[in-house]
Structure 1
């Protein structure tokens, strides 16, 4: 047996699979350990009254859940809009509308996130759903653009082959084009998720909650521990969601394309 064959056989053994699984779990475990260590420190150090109110464990958990909700709803809204729109903009005569649509979407990406949130709050009202709308506008471009690019990069010969075996236009889209474009599309969704985690911190400016409350409180009251705790927890949440996005990108993309 050659060295290459032996190495390949060893890589497919159950022990090798278990080793890869443990290595895959090390990053999230490290991120969680950092967050837990930060929270434990805040619960076991001497705090003044204001710090105690901002770093109380139920308060931190509530703000973390609000942050996750902001990211979840804004990302779902992006998926509902960006995926169908990206597909339509690569079909037939609708391609002509691509420059106009991208110009409008680029406005949301180019506008500073804080300015966008405040502007929407002035035009509508402060609160959770206004922040979701701002996050949606700010993070729409990566998923939309990657959906279009992924579909445009599909080899035309594969599309012709699908048509040649009798697939309808919808059949070619769902059985050939979207599977081939999946790695690029999933990469755009992953970018959207990470953008939303960071940008959701500004929701606190208009009373939408989230971990941004810790940052604004820390800055306005000059409590560095509150500020650092908010920054660490947001960073850990972003890393965890990025890891989950990478996991989804690995397992949802067709084998051989991820």
Structure 2
């Protein structure tokens, strides 16, 4: 856990000179007004609590919604891969859960019969990484909903205003569990992003061997759009969680507060 400390007072107060009197500094109305204005404004939740110095984490509901939608899809995906050939067309487990993969396997041969007959291990290898990522995200969600409390603070990366402003309201985790949550989420998001980039590069360096048979419309809607989502959202999550880690580390440095 990253925390900040304030310097303690001296053990003995200096004795004032009898010939001099200490005069309290006057309090201006402008400074009182400024303090009142500042306290009424609710900023985005930072990685460091402004009151206790403990690390706090408030994820935006945008990220929570993405995880809620993507995790079931990822589990569906790696289950199909590990159950091949029974989950493939004609297999005893294909209907009804994996029927849509009959179409996708015809678009991306990594998921179809060509890769299976070629004993191509890339598909299963990336699915094994999907399992690790999924476990990381589930642990993150467990921390958020077990140790977090309902909060009206605005989560990192959440929109300030507008139609999606309500999605900023989330839950806040504090202390060591907050640090663990951010670290696990950052590692999982970076892993997802790196693996997806590798998936695209595998096609590029193989001459698009598994997808070049598609027409432009099929390629765009059935391959580029769905696979592109796993580039954009994990990149966004990596940026947000990485920013929280940097903020915490900067605050822990001697000049961290001055540099902000």
Q: What TM-score, normalized to structure 1?
A: 0.26
Report the structure, 1 or 2, having the larger strand content. Answer: 2
Report the structure, 1 or 2, having the larger helix content. Answer: 1
Q: Which has the larger radius of gyration?
A: 2
